[in-house]
Amino acid sequence: MGKVRVKIDGKEIEVEEGKTILEAAKALGIEIPTLCYHEKLLPYGACRMCLVEAGPGAPKPACATYVTDGMEVKTSTPEVEEIRKTVLQLLFGERNHYCMYCESSGDCELQKLGYKYGLDHFEFPPYEEKYPLDISHPYILFDQNRCVLCRRCARACAELGGHFVLEVKNRGYQSLIAADLNSQFAQSSCVSCGLCVQVCPTGALVDKRAAYLGRKEQAEVIKTVCDRCPVGCGLEVYRRANFILKVYGDWDSPVNQGVLCKNGRYLPLYEERPRLNFPKLKESGAWTRVSPDMAFKVISEKKGSASVYLEGSLPWELLKAFKEAFEDRTFALNPVSPPIPPSAVLKDLEEADTYIVVGVDLNERYGVVGSMIKRRVIPQNARLIAVEAGSLSGITDFSYEYKDLDTALGEARKGNRIVVVYSGLPEGISERLRVESSFKFLFLPFEANTMALKELGIEHRAPVEKVKIFVGENLSFTRSPGDFIVVFTPYETGELREKADLLIPIPGYLEDEGTFVTLEGRRVHRQKVITPAEGVLTVEEVSSRLEKI
């Protein structure tokens, strides 16, 4: 790539060919106003705020114009400033931009531009046409009246999420952002990844739960790592007064670069199960509150005959404490070992030209891995082959059942860099995949900290003993007569009240710190973001009590 010399506002700079005026100006420290431009998205040139003088002819959008050798750019002449003010007036005048009671007032990029350019009245009177309001989606509110048609949502849904749900329908002033071209959000193929809300500059797409609960400057933004699956995406958690307002993706995280899925962004915040707030013991059929000392005394008395069954969703420190207390009577509730030894890392997804996803629905689980694959299929001409991959099978022409595995493998072999994406596999399937020597295998461990279970030598086994200790968030088990069952969990469900004898509360989502091992073997430390109720035992407390029993 060659270099070009360009002069911006009198200052000269040499940049690589293929850079835009906006990028060259940024390198010189010159600011140009933008609205539809987003660092992580391809430039679109929709809003026209970044118009600059760049030689003869009409002013050019700086974000979407490549620099040419010898180009002379002026970013701020009187004419350009007038144009910017008019563009802003047109943007405000097109739809209904009430600031007074808008959820985004104070955090709105359109409003910020209005303030910056001293916009103190409307040249073009609005409020004559009412645009649709879509509140069907469970987590996201879509108010078309606030939309500036920057299309960041549609671009992010396609370029980053790979979902291709949002697009623009109609033309001219009748343009509307639409899900699946004409559906209500809730009935569309939206997977609730939330990227649209994260990139929307105005109050058009808004997080329902966080609405009207505070501006960004009133909240604390805490960077941490998600613990819902072993990918380990970077999060920015907005917290205000010990309450999680919303969860955004961390644009700076090298793992996910701002992309999330509904499992990390929305589902845990909509948890409906009642919380367990203090230890409880069932005596003669009735539940009574007991102290932590009493609870652990009961466990201590049964220690010799008890076996522990751990979910792989728990932090490393807690898993280790149980292993050290119960030694070879410590087991995992879910499968630990990969059916095929892994040979790929997440980065291999960026260079593959063929993906074969077997037995796992990447729209429901490991959503960010799904995004990494889906966003390359259309734009980069990669092929997606789905073998019993749930809803993923519906978006590709190459969709097969296990009985047609040979055909699927035949299709896959046509590629050059082939990656198999899998989690658990049924009998007989893993052997047939394993022999493909030209394929790379990306294993998605069953749970967020399955890799830690492996490191600690804890293996999967179905519960058989009479005295059992279960530890986890989503526990479901059978009770046989004569059993004594202890459960460490954040939630007190009807099933647990019926089947357990002793319940001990542990922290829930983002309520305690801990170490997790991601699918690539990286250790990540998760921060404590909010404090649970007083009676809930921390990981540290449980670990130190287990040492003493």
Partner 1 sequence: MKRVTLASDWLESCSGCHMSLLDMDERLVELVQMGLVITATPITDLKVPAPGTDIGVLEGAVSTDHHEEVVRLFRERCKILVALGDCAVFGGIHTMRNYIPIEELLKRGYVTTESTVGGKIPQGPGIGKHLKKCMALNEVVKVDFYIPGCPPPADAIYQVLKDILEGKTPELKEELLKYD
Q: Which residues bind partner 1 (CB under 8 A)?
A: 96, 98-102, 105-106, 111, 114-115, 118, 120-122, 125-128, 130
Nearer to partner 1, 216 or 413 (CB): 216
Provide the β-strand partners of residue 66: 20
Nearer to partner 1, 70 or 132 (CB): 132
Question: How many Å apart are CA 482 and CA 309, to the nearest integer?
Answer: 18
Nearer to partner 1, 217 or 534 (CB): 217
Q: How far is the CB of 210 from partner 1 (least distance, A)?
A: 18
Phi, psi torsion values for 514, nearest 5 degrees: 180, 165
Nearer to partner 1, 102 or 308 (CB): 102
Q: How far is the CB of 117 from partner 1 (least distance, A)?
A: 10
Q: How far is the CB of 547 from partner 1 (least distance, A)?
A: 56
Q: How far is the CB of 531 from partner 1 (least distance, A)?
A: 33
Nearer to partner 1, 98 or 243 (CB): 98
| CA of residue 10 relative to chain centroid, distance | 43
Nearer to partner 1, 12 or 123 (CB): 123
Q: How far is the CB of 140 from partner 1 (least distance, A)?
A: 23
Question: How many Å apart are CA 134 and CA 141, to the nearest integer?
Answer: 6
Picking from 211, 312, 226, the residue whose alpha carbon sits closest to that of residue 263 is 226
Phi, psi torsion values for 271, nearest 5 degrees: -60, 130
Cβ contact 57:14 at 8 Å: no
Q: How far is the CB of 208 from partner 1 (least distance, A)?
A: 21
Q: How far is the CB of 130 from partner 1 (least distance, A)?
A: 4
Nearer to partner 1, 126 or 390 (CB): 126
Q: How far is the CB of 88 from partner 1 (least distance, A)?
A: 13
Nearer to partner 1, 126 or 463 (CB): 126
Nearer to partner 1, 114 or 234 (CB): 114
Nearer to partner 1, 108 or 360 (CB): 108
Question: How many Å apart are CA 373 and CA 186, to the nearest integer?
Answer: 24
| CA of residue 47 relative to chain centroid, distance | 28
Cβ contact 473:489 at 8 Å: yes
All residues at 6 or more sequence positions from 399 whose CB lies less than 8 Å from its CB, including other chains: 385, 386, 387, 389, 393
Nearer to partner 1, 146 or 329 (CB): 146
Around Cβ 401, how many Cβ atoms within 10 Å?
11
Q: How far is the CB of 115 from partner 1 (least distance, A)?
A: 5
Nearer to partner 1, 31 or 69 (CB): 31
Cβ contact 452:319 at 8 Å: yes
What amino acid is encoded at 227 in this protein?
Answer: D
Picking from 225, 268, 221, the residue whose alpha carbon sits closest to that of residue 526 is 225
Phi, psi torsion values for 240, nearest 5 degrees: -140, 125
Q: How far is the CB of 222 from partner 1 (least distance, A)?
A: 27
What does the DSSP 8-state code read for residue 468?
E
Picking from 324, 336, 309, the residue whose alpha carbon sits closest to that of residue 483 is 309
Question: How many Å apart are CA 221 and CA 284, to the nearest integer?
Answer: 48
- CA-to-CA dists, residue 158 to 365, 399, 520, angstroms: 19, 21, 26
Nearer to partner 1, 171 or 173 (CB): 173
Q: How far is the CB of 137 from partner 1 (least distance, A)?
A: 23
Picking from 299, 291, 348, 335, the residue whose alpha carbon sits closest to that of residue 450 is 335
**How does DSSP assign 496-527, residue by residue?**
HHHH-SEEEE---TTSS-EEEE-TTS-EEEEP
Question: How many Å apart are CA 69 and CA 3, to the nearest integer?
Answer: 8
Q: How far is the CB of 131 from partner 1 (least distance, A)?
A: 10
Q: How far is the CB of 101 from partner 1 (least distance, A)?
A: 7
Nearer to partner 1, 121 or 171 (CB): 121
CA angle 377, 382, 387 (to 5 degrees): 80
Structure tokens of 198?
């994260």
Picking from 37, 57, 66, the residue whose alpha carbon sits closest to that of residue 49 is 37
Question: How many Å apart are CA 416 and CA 128, to the nearest integer?
Answer: 57
Integer-rounded Cα radius of gyration of the chain: 27
Question: How many Å apart are CA 476 and CA 435, to the nearest integer?
Answer: 36
Q: How far is the CB of 47 from partner 1 (least distance, A)?
A: 19
